[in-house]
Structures are given as C-alpha cells and as structure tokens.
Amino acid sequence: MASILRSSKFVRYIAGFARNIVVNTPREFDGNFVNSAQCFCGSSPRNLATQTSVLTDQNLETSLKRIDQDVRKSGRISRRDIEDVLEEIRIARSATSSQSLLVIRCCGNLVPEELPETRTKLVQEIWNTLNKLNVPMDISHYNALLRVYLENEHKFSPTEFLSEVESKGIEPNRVTYQRLIARYCQDGDIEGATKILEYMREKEMSVNENVFNALIVGHSNAGDMESAQGILNVMTQAGLEPSADTYTTLLCGYAARGDIDKIMNITDECEAKEIFLLDKDYLDIVYSLATHGHTQHVPAVLNKVKKAVGYPQDAINVILRLINKGQEDAAFMVLKSLPRITREDGTNLPSGMFFIKQMVKANRPIEKIIQLCEQLEKEELYERALLLAVENSLQVGNDKLAYPLLEKLKEKGLEIRQHYFWPLIVSKANDPAGKGIIQVLQKMQDFNLTPSGETVREYVIPNLKGKSSELIAKLREANVSVGSSACSLVIHLLQKNEIDEAAALANSVRAYYQPELVKRAFTNAFYKTNDIKSYMSLLRTFYEAADRKNVIQSQDDEEVVSSTIDKTALIGTFILDLTTNRRFLEVAEPILEALVNEGLSISNTTAEKIEEKLGEKMTENISKLLGKLTSGELTPTPINKKKLSYVPSHQMNIAQLERLVQNLSSKGQDVKGLKRQLLTLYYRAKDLNKTEQILEELKQSSDFVFTNGMYAQLLDLYAYHDNLEKAMEYYELLKKDDGDKFTLDDGKIVRLACLFIKKGRIDEGIKILETTPRDEKNEERNFTYSALVWRFLNSLAEEGKVEELNKVFDALTKHDFIQVNNVLLGPLIKVHLTRGDLDQALEKFEWCVKQYKSTPWKNELACRLIQVEDAEKLQKLTDLSTLVHGEVNSLYDLVFAFVECGRIRQARKILETPGLHNRPQRINSACERYQQEGLVKPLEGLKDATKDMDHIDRSDIYYQLLLSYIKQDDTDKAFGLWMQMQEEDLLPSDQFLSTLAAHLNEKGREVPFVVSEESFQIIQTSQTSTQQHQQSSQSIFRQCIKNGNLEEALKMKRTSKEKFSVVDLSALIETLVQKNQVQEAYNITMEILDRGNLPVNKVFRFLLNKLATSGDIAMLEKIGSKLNPEVKKIVSFDNRMCHANLVSGKGKEYLEKLQEDIDKATEETLPHISERFPRGGAYGILEKHPELMDKCKYNTG
C-alpha cells in the first residue's frame, strides 16, 4: 500500500482531481453540528400548517431549540434530551425533513456521556421511527447517519450502505463517498478507500481536505506512519496546504503509537509554520495517547494546552469519553488541568462532580472509583467525592457498586441513613416475586438500620406485588413488624381506593395508625367509594388503636409522635379533612348520623369549623347532630371484641347503669348515688319522662336533698322541652338557694331567654340575658351552644321578625354571649329576604361587611338583585364583597350568580373583562358543585357563557355536564355534548370519551369514536363494585319511574339492599299520586319521615293536597304527628287538614274544636294557636256553614 502512495502514479491520480479540488478554510468541519445547523429553531420550518398539531410542533421546536442552546453552551447534550425529542416526534407522528436531520446528527460525539454502542443504538431507533412514520428523507439524512456511525466507531459495510441508499432511489453525493472512505480508513483498509476514490474520479467529483485526513487515519491504523506522513506531500502537490486539522490527524496517529518525540517535533514544526493547534486538538491527541495505552505521555501534551476560552467544556467532553473507554487515570489528569473557579471569598469551588458521576454511570471497577474519590478528596478537588459516588450508584440502582461504597462510608464513620436505600428499592420493582426488594431491606440490617415506616409505606409496599397477607409475611423476612407493615398497607390500599380491604386489614391487625399519615388517603378513598360502612369501621379502628400509642416504641426517630392523644380530637381530625372536599355537603348528614350511632364525639372547635364550612347550607338536622356530637353525652358503642371484665359506673352508658341499679336494688343495696348519676345521664339525653321518674324515686328517700347542680339541670331540661313555667320554678329555687352566689352558665341562660322570646315575651327574655349572673368559669362555649343560638336566630328570621331578631342579636353581642361569624350573621340578612325587603337586606349586608368583615348570604342576595334587575344595588354588593374577598374572587362570584339566574350574557360580559385573571379552580369548583347538587341549568349556562373563550379550559364544564346528563339518564343530551365539542373544535379528554362510551354501552347505543382500552379500564376500575351496583340500581329505578313502570319500581324499592335517595323516592311518590296509588305514596312518605327526612317540598305539597281533597283525615293526622310546627307552616298543613275535614263532612266539628282550643287558650299558648289557625281553610267551612259566622266573629272580636 505504501508503495502505491509513494509512486508517481498515485500522485498523478490525486492530481487528476486538481480542477475539482475544494479548498477548505483552516477550521472548517464538514457537517459540523453548530455551523451546519446554525440554530435549531432557525432550521425548523415556520409554516406550522403542515404539522399534525400546532401545539405538538411548538413542543418539538422548543425541544430542538433547547438542544441547540446546550450545544452552543457546552458542546454536548444528554441522551434524555434526544429521547424527549424522539417522543415528541412519535406523539406528532410526523417531523419535517430538517427536524429529522438534526435529531440524527445529535447521536454522535455530542453525547459524550454515553457509550458509543448506546449512541448507535439510539440513532438506529430514531432512524427506524422516522421510516415508520414515512418522514421524507434525502441523501443528507444518510450522510448524517454515516457521520454518527464514524464518530461512534460503528462497524458497518460501506457497500451494503450504498446499496440501501440506491434501493431508495437516492443518489449518493460527494459527502457520502468521503465518509465511506473514512469508514474504510478506520479499519486501515486503504484498498477499499482507493476503490471509492477511483469511483469519485470517474464521476468527476471534487475532493477536499477531509479525504486526505481520512487517508492519514487509514495509513496510521494500518501501521504505516511513513505513508501517513507522505499524505502531506501529496496534498501539497495537489495544491492543498495541510491545515491544523490535518496535522492533528497525523499527531493522533503518532499518539496511538506512543511516539512522544515525533509529537513534540511536529507541534514545534506547526508553530514554526504558524499553524496553530487549538486546545481541542491537543485534547484529541491526549485521547489517542490514553486509549492506546500511553497515558504516561499525557502530561507532556497537556503542557502544550493554552486553556483558551472554551477549554473547560472541551476538556469535560474528552474526560467523559476517556472514562467510557476505561481511562480514568488519563481523565483525572485532564480534570486536574481545568482552571479552578473561585468564590468571592477566594476559596475554590468543588471540581469533579461530573467525573464521579461518569465513573459510576460507566460502571467502572469499585476499587478504581474509591481510589479516585479518595484522591479527589485528598487533593481538595471535591471534599465529598465518596458520598457523591454513593449517591449516584444508588440513583442508578447499581447495588454492586452501592454496597461496597456504603461500607467505605461506614468505615469512615459517616452515618448511613434510611433514604440512601430508597432508589435501590425502586430499581427492584420489576421483580414480580419481590426478592430484590426484600434483599435490599435485609442488607439495610448490615448497616444497623431497621426499615422505617416511611420506607415501607412509600417505597416498599407500592413496589411489592401480592395479597396483603403475603406482603406482611414477606416483610417479616426483612424484620419489618406486622404493625408497621399493616399501617403501610392500609395507607397503600386507601391510596388505591380499596377502603373495604383496608378496613378488613386494620380490624385484623392491632396497630397504631398515625392520623397525619392516613387522613388524606382515607378521605380520598371515602369520596371515591362512598362506602360509609367501611369508613366508619376504619374510623372506629383508628379510635380504638389510639390507646396503643402509649405502648408502642417508635422505630423511626423522624416519625416520633407526642406521647398522649385526645381521641375526640382524633375523630375531629378525620371529619375536618372530609370538609375539604366539595362533596361534603351531600355526605355530612349520613356521616354525622353514623358518628352518633357509633357513640363517637367531636370537639366544639371541630363542630364550629364544620358549621363555618357549611355556611348557608347548614340545616336544622345537621345542627342537631353536631349538638349531640359535642354534648359530651355520647359513649362509644360496644364492639365485637373481648369486653372489659369491669366498667366503672362513671363510664357506663344509660342502659348499663340502669341494669346496675336494678341488680343492686334487687339485692337491697343503696343505689342513691347511682341514681344521681342516672339523673345526670337522663338530663344529658334530654329524656324528660325518665328524669321526672328517677326524681320521684329520689324524693322518696328521707335524706335526699336537691343540689344546686340538679336545679340548674332541671331548669335547662324544662326549657329544652318548652315548659317555661317549670323552668322558671327551678330558676327561682336556684336563685333563692344560692343567694348572692347565684350564677348560670351561658348555655342555660340563652336557652331560657330563647324560650321567653319564643313565647312572645321578648322583653323578659332579654332581661334574662342582661340580669342573670354568669358563671365566669365557663370559658369554652361548645358547639351545642352555638347551634342553639343559630337555630333560634334562624327561626326568628324565617318568621320575618326583624325587630325581635335585631334586639336579640344586639343583646347577645352586647353582653358577649356569642362570637360573631358568618353563620350567626346569616339570619340578619335572611329575615329581610324572607320579607322581600332587598333594600334592608343590602343595608344589613353592608353593616356586616364594615362591622365584621363578613359577607353572609352574599350569593342569595346577589341572585335576588339579579332577578329584580337592580344593577345599582348589585354593583354595591360587589364593591362590598371586594373589600373582603378581593376583586377577582368577587367578580367570579358574580359570574356564578348570573349563571344561576340564567343571565348568560351578563356572565359572559364579566368573563370578557380585560385583565381579569383566569381562575380555573373557581370554575372547576363551581362545575363540581352544580353537578353534585343536580343543577343542570347553571352548568349549561356556564358552558354557553364561556364559549369561544380560549383562555378558559372548558373541558371540566363539559365533563361535569356529561355526568349530570348521565345522572338524569338523558343519553341523547349526553351524546349531543360530544357532537357539540366537535362543532366548537374542542378536543374531548380521555376521561370524557371513556365515561360517555361506558354510558352508551350500558344503554346499548353505538359508540362512534375510538377509546383507548387503557383509558376505558381506568374509568371502569375507578368505581368499586358496590358503586357500580348502586349506580346501576339507581339508573334502572329512575328509568322505571320515568316509563311509568311503578310495579317494577316498587319491587326494586322493596328488594334492593341499597337506599334510594330522597329525590328518587320523591319522584316515585309524585308518580304514584298521579296514578291514584295514594296508599303506596303515603307509605313511602312515612318511611322518609321516619328516617328524619322530608320529601321534596313540591311533591310533599302535592301529596297533602291529594289527601286533603280526598278527605283522608287519618293519613293526614299520622303525617302531622311526624312534623314539627315549622315544617307544618311551610307546607300549610293546618289549612290542608281543615280542607280534609270539610270534604269529609266534618267541617263543623273541626271548626268547633278550633273554637274550643281558643276558649281554653292561655296568654302564653294563644300566639301559638293563632299562628297555626287555618284561615284559608276556615273560610271554606264558613261558606258551607254560615250559621257559625257569628261565633267566629265573636272569637275574632
């Protein structure tokens, strides 16, 4: 081969190209990434119309721009960057020709952190992806691929490569042949290179410096340095002057042979000829020396480096490549050549972080890693080198490196911590048997570590597979206690919304479940499943398990909790967490009822926060439930576990204490003390009959004496039962007995005052508030007290008694009986709205804002003003709200008020306000609330109001509207949403499509769109089997009512284990009444009333009218026995009863009975009788019985 090049024939062959020679600039690199690409963003096409998606194209262009910036900054990019770009292309399912070209070019020396084999595999993956997507590619793409192959030293056949190019109908160009020559020369195959050269000559293709440089490489790799040197003469004869690149290529050839003398001579020659080598060139020589086993000469070459601008990044790139080649020692020498960066105080910044990371990434021998880390620390390059090596080995999940490094840390006296092992645990997640994870846990014990609760909970359990019992057994192998395993498993099951299994596991394993860890998952799981039974089971378990806190030994110092725990506060913690969800209103009543049934109490603070959360949605029943829960009178119901052999009498409930009294009495023992305890329990239960009974028994004892406490309890009990006479009797007795020391607590004073006012004696009631001495020791006011005040104020508001309400409120605040809040201020607005006096309501609202910074009943007031179209007052209301809640929140509240009133245009006008900040969470919250409360019209209005507003994400509006239509079983409207979204050019979410598809399938309708299997399964599995059954039963039940199939609906109601909602049952009652099946409607109504609920008001009135017009007095009387006076007033019950008597022919008798009641009335009872007098019904009776007119005139006179 050498003789060919030395012969004149070869010189003439090269010279034959003279007319086609391309003269390079001194530092031009063919295909150089930066020079050729200029800027990625500049190379990418600007016409986005050709892309599949504008957004995806923007993402791709942004990614390419970021890569370009990294290349310009440091001359390298990461593999992750390339993979991200590839993923963008896959998502878009397209890429432009220039974009694909740039991605291919990235996979060579621009990724020095990766091994050449890895880079080659990556470029092949990119190439295959581009082919599958039919991305248009030309010869430039093949040339870029050739360049990457060369940089990665990938072995391939040039002839096969050419065949593939030609098979695609693509013509190779000059660059293609130059790179194929370089490929032959990498293997030292001069003969192959010569064949390409001959072909180029035949095609009259020009050659440039790159061809000669490749030939130098070829001769060097063939071991013929003489011929390699001779290429310089050939270039000169061909009219080309060797550049710095040419000399660098030659120097690398000598470096491969370790000829340091020749290297020094040539570098001197270059300097003499004013051919200046760059730092990057010297680093290439260093790389060649090190990779061919001549590391000892590296310092001599490094001495030549000028460390010009850009040297640090070039050095880092070559260090990374050297480490990949197993040349850590040479890499370390280059590292030490880097100039140190100093802080402001003159100290050096650490140097070598990337060096350590790369050694771990390249999986270099542990001995070498430890040696170089110690050297870095010794030479003060990086003080925590060993610790960084440990961190990186753990992050990549390399336990073969991690464990020895951890041992080394331990030897140095450094503490090994729990979290070091977390990445290793995660890296073993793919092992279905979980052996790898267990081995990591067992290895932790070698470092005197027992897996903490956090480790087990957050990293072990989520990555183990199997049943709960199997997981606990596996963890026992790793010395994890059953209690710790169970706690973590319960949390994990709750996170997966498997609340029933979590409850079963918690009941079977005694352990302490820390509230702060479990509550969020507990709340989410409940709202996902609506499984109250499992929720209460778990809550009771947590309550009982709290006692174990004092006996457990915390195994994790980071999770140590306080030594005692308040069980009432524990329950409050979980219930308050429920209030953070928008659906709390619909679950509040059943949850609170379940707590009462379970005998679990909550604190006053908890109750007040619940009341504040409910605000205007607060109901009488919820208020009463909260009162019971905070009364201190509840005792936990017995659970099916081994009972205590003895329960102290002061811990007994009523039933237990009654049995004890009975047993001891039968034995002739003294039970006066126990009866006093029983008296207190009866008082707390507000059981008047039993209280009076036990009191009579106590009075029979000669030595029985009333205590002041008893007087106070009896006073309060009679006031509770509206017996003012008896209440005042004990009030006076207490006052007489105590004398100057007479005091009452606030709760009893307020209850007694309320009773006076309820009886119409307002001045006396206020006098009680003002003059009764108060017990100053009673500092804490429980929720029962607050609820009592609210219920009383609310009753005055509903009756429209403005003056009385203001007097009472002023007295309560003046004498500090209440702490004013939004809830207690509500009745002050409500009373004016009840009377229809908007001016006074707004005036009072303004007073609340200025006096207390509160906005009670704001939404209701806004809706009333919208309905009467009073823009001036509405503006004033909004201005007042702004003072408290800020402008943006107030404007959004106004939007929702307009929507709820059907004023879409006005709502839209506000949303179009320039500068109004987008609040997606406010809109999403409103959508969820409308959907949960069954308010479809406002949802539809919000959809229309936000149409064509690009800054608002309307996907949640459509989704909640879809759920509403499905709930109403209106398939046509649900399907119509999908069509409407297409018309508005909106992209439905996977959740929307999956939910609609599931509904269409259920209804036997065709699904005209594609839903990914994965998305469909997520929707299906997000509901428990219980929910599915319940939703299915409810849907069928509603459909039966809608279709008039009452027999099937009644059968479902009787046989289904699920409880149907009041709304659904009310719909059934209405349909039954329409079909004249009054007896069935009556039976269902009584069931609802027995549960403490009321049918929907409209339906209830409809049924009562039907009974009245039928003259069915008996049914009405039974219904009336279940209603309180307030409800009777709302549904005009007495008028309907009067009408029923008239229809049944008993009108005269009924009117006479009313007259008799009036005759017997006292001054106290007369207002009550007057209130319930059926004026409308009485007129009907008098028309039929005019002879009674004189008597009525006498009574009214």
Q: Letter for the amino acid at 345?
A: D
Answer whether residue 434 is part of any domain.
Answer: yes
Per-residue pLDDT, 6: 34
Q: 1019-1048 burial, b if ≥16 CB within 10 A, otherwise e? A: beeebbebeeebbeebbbbbebbeeeebee
Which 8-state DSSP code applies to residue 1022?
T
Question: Token pair for residue 921?
Answer: 């969470």
Whether residue 766 is predicted with pLDDT greater than 80 in this model: the reply is yes
Question: Token pair for residue 89?
Answer: 């292309």
Element (H, E) at 874: helix 871-885
State residue 847 phi and psi, 5-degree precision.
Answer: -60, -40
Question: Mean of the pLDDT values across residues 944-965?
Answer: 84
Q: Letter for the amino acid at 153?
A: E
Which 8-state DSSP code applies to residue 641?
S
Place 1171 in a pLDDT band, splitting at 50, 70 and 90: low
pTM as predicted: 0.51
Q: Regarding predicted confidence, which is higher, 675 or 987?
A: 675
Place 215 in a pLDDT band, splitting at 50, 70 and 90: very high
Whether residue 955 is predicted with pLDDT greater than 50 in this model: the reply is yes
- Domain with 448, as residue range(s), is 428-516
Q: Regarding predicted confidence, which is higher, 1030 or 59?
A: 59
Per-residue pLDDT, 679: 84
The mean-pLDDT minimum among 308-322, 982-996, 1034-1048 falls in 982-996
Place 37 in a pLDDT band, splitting at 50, 70 and 90: very low
Provide the 10 A C-beta neighbour count for residue 970: 14
385/375 Cα distance (integer angstroms): 9
Helices (H), 133-224: 139-151, 158-167, 174-186, 190-202, 209-221
Place 50 in a pLDDT band, splitting at 50, 70 and 90: very low
The mean-pLDDT minimum among 155-159, 321-325, 401-405, 812-816 falls in 812-816
Place 27 in a pLDDT band, splitting at 50, 70 and 90: very low
Answer whether residue 24 is part of any domain.
Answer: no
Please choose, from the candidates 334, 322, 319, the residue with its C-alpha nearest in 3D space to the C-alpha of residue 291.
Answer: 322
Per-residue pLDDT, 1: 33
Q: 1049-1061 burial, b if ≥16 CB within 10 A, otherwise e? A: bbebbeeeeeebe
Yes or no: say if 296 and 277 are a contact pair by the CB < 8 Å rule. Answer: no
Answer whether residue 462 is part of any domain.
Answer: yes
Whether residue 1178 is predicted with pLDDT greater than 90 in this model: the reply is no
Answer whether residue 227 is part of any domain.
Answer: no
1119/535 Cα distance (integer angstroms): 34
Whether residue 1174 is predicted with pLDDT greater than 70 in this model: the reply is no
Whether residue 1160 is predicted with pLDDT greater than 70 in this model: the reply is no
Q: What is the DSSP string of 956-988?
A: HHHHHHHHHHHHTT-HHHHHHHHHHHHHTT---
Percent of the chain with pLDDT over 70: 85
Place 282 in a pLDDT band, splitting at 50, 70 and 90: very high
**How far does CA 575 lie from the centroid of its chain?**
19
Calculated CA dihedral for residues 1169, 1170, 1174, 1176, nearest 10 degrees: 180
The mean-pLDDT minimum among 535-539, 658-662, 1016-1020 falls in 1016-1020
Percent of the chain with pLDDT over 90: 23
Per-residue pLDDT, 780: 56
690/699 Cα distance (integer angstroms): 14
User: For residue range 842-883, what is the model confidence (pLDDT) as tens digits?
Assistant: 999 999 999 888 899 988 899 999 988 888 989 999 999 889
Per-residue pLDDT, 1009: 58
Q: Which residues pair with 301 in a beta bridge?
A: none
Report how many domains make up the chain. Answer: 2
User: For residue range 51-108, what is the model confidence (pLDDT) as tens digits?
Assistant: 334 555 667 788 888 887 887 778 889 899 999 889 888 888 888 877 888 899 889 9
Yes or no: say if 940 and 934 are a contact pair by the CB < 8 Å rule. Answer: no
363/372 Cα distance (integer angstroms): 14
Yes or no: say if 840 and 857 are a contact pair by the CB < 8 Å rule. Answer: no
Of the residues 516, 551, 583, the one at which a domain ends: 516
Q: 307-322 burial, b if ≥16 CB within 10 A, otherwise e? A: eeeebbebbbbbbbbb
Of the residues 516, 537, 562, the one at which a domain ends: 516
Element (H, E) at 429: none
Answer whether residue 1187 is part of any domain.
Answer: yes
Please choose, from the candidates 28, 18, 84, the residue with its C-alpha nearest in 3D space to the C-alpha of residue 56.
Answer: 84
Yes or no: say if 592 and 574 are a contact pair by the CB < 8 Å rule. Answer: no
Answer whether residue 1150 is part of any domain.
Answer: yes
Question: Mean of the pLDDT values across residues 958-967?
Answer: 91
779/318 Cα distance (integer angstroms): 76
Answer whether residue 22 is part of any domain.
Answer: no
Q: Is 774 helix (H, G, I), strand (E, B) or coil?
A: strand
The residue assigned the tokens 């997000």 is: 1022
Whether residue 1189 is predicted with pLDDT greater than 60 in this model: the reply is no
Q: Regarding predicted confidence, which is higher, 111 or 1012?
A: 111
Per-residue pLDDT, 1162: 60
Task: Using the Cα atoms of residue 732, residue 733, residue 738 and residue 744 in order, give the sign of their dihedral.
Answer: negative
User: For residue range 889-923, what is the model confidence (pLDDT) as tens digits?
Assistant: 889 899 999 989 989 888 888 887 777 777 877 88
Answer whether residue 497 is part of any domain.
Answer: yes
Place 1033 in a pLDDT band, splitting at 50, 70 and 90: low
Question: Token pair for residue 545?
Answer: 């398990």
Please choose, from the candidates 1015, 962, 999, the residue with its C-alpha nearest in 3D space to the C-alpha of residue 1007.
Answer: 999
Per-residue pLDDT, 12: 37
Question: Mean of the pLDDT values across residues 1177-1185?
Answer: 53
CB proximity list for 341: less than 8 A, separation 6 or greater:
348, 349, 351
Per-residue pLDDT, 717: 87
Task: Calculate the alpha carbon distances from 286 to 73, 116, 323, 640 in Å.
Answer: 23, 19, 13, 80
Element (H, E) at 449: none
Which 8-state DSSP code applies to residue 23?
P
Place 1129 in a pLDDT band, splitting at 50, 70 and 90: confident
Q: 1110-1143 burial, b if ≥16 CB within 10 A, otherwise e? A: ebbbebbeebbeebeeebbeebbbbbbbbbbbbb
Q: Regarding predicted confidence, which is higher, 1143 or 1169?
A: 1143
User: For residue range 324-371, what is the model confidence (pLDDT) as tens digits?
Assistant: 999 999 999 999 999 888 888 878 888 999 999 999 999 999 999 999
Whether residue 30 is predicted with pLDDT greater than 80 in this model: the reply is no
End-to-end CA, the chain: 138
Query: For residue 25, with 0-12 CB atoms within 10 Å meaning exposed, 13-18 middle and 19 or more buried, which class applies?
Result: exposed
Q: What angle do CA 865, 870, 876 make, to 5 degrees?
A: 80
Per-residue pLDDT, 325: 92
Yes or no: say if 755 and 727 are a contact pair by the CB < 8 Å rule. Answer: yes
Whether residue 303 is predicted with pLDDT greater than 90 in this model: the reply is yes
Q: What angle do CA 337, 338, 344 make, to 5 degrees?
A: 135
- HEC-encoded secondary structure of 561-616: CCCCCCHHHHHHHHHHHHCCCCCHHHHHHHHHHHHHHHCCCCCHHHHHHHHHHHHH
Place 1113 in a pLDDT band, splitting at 50, 70 and 90: confident
Per-residue pLDDT, 735: 82
Per-residue pLDDT, 247: 94
Please choose, from the candidates 460, 452, 576, the residue with its C-alpha nearest in 3D space to the C-alpha of residue 516.
Answer: 576
Place 185 in a pLDDT band, splitting at 50, 70 and 90: very high
Place 431 in a pLDDT band, splitting at 50, 70 and 90: confident
Per-residue pLDDT, 105: 87
Of the residues 516, 537, 561, the one at which a domain ends: 516
Looking at mean pLDDT, say which of 70-84, 398-412, 551-565 comes out highest.
398-412
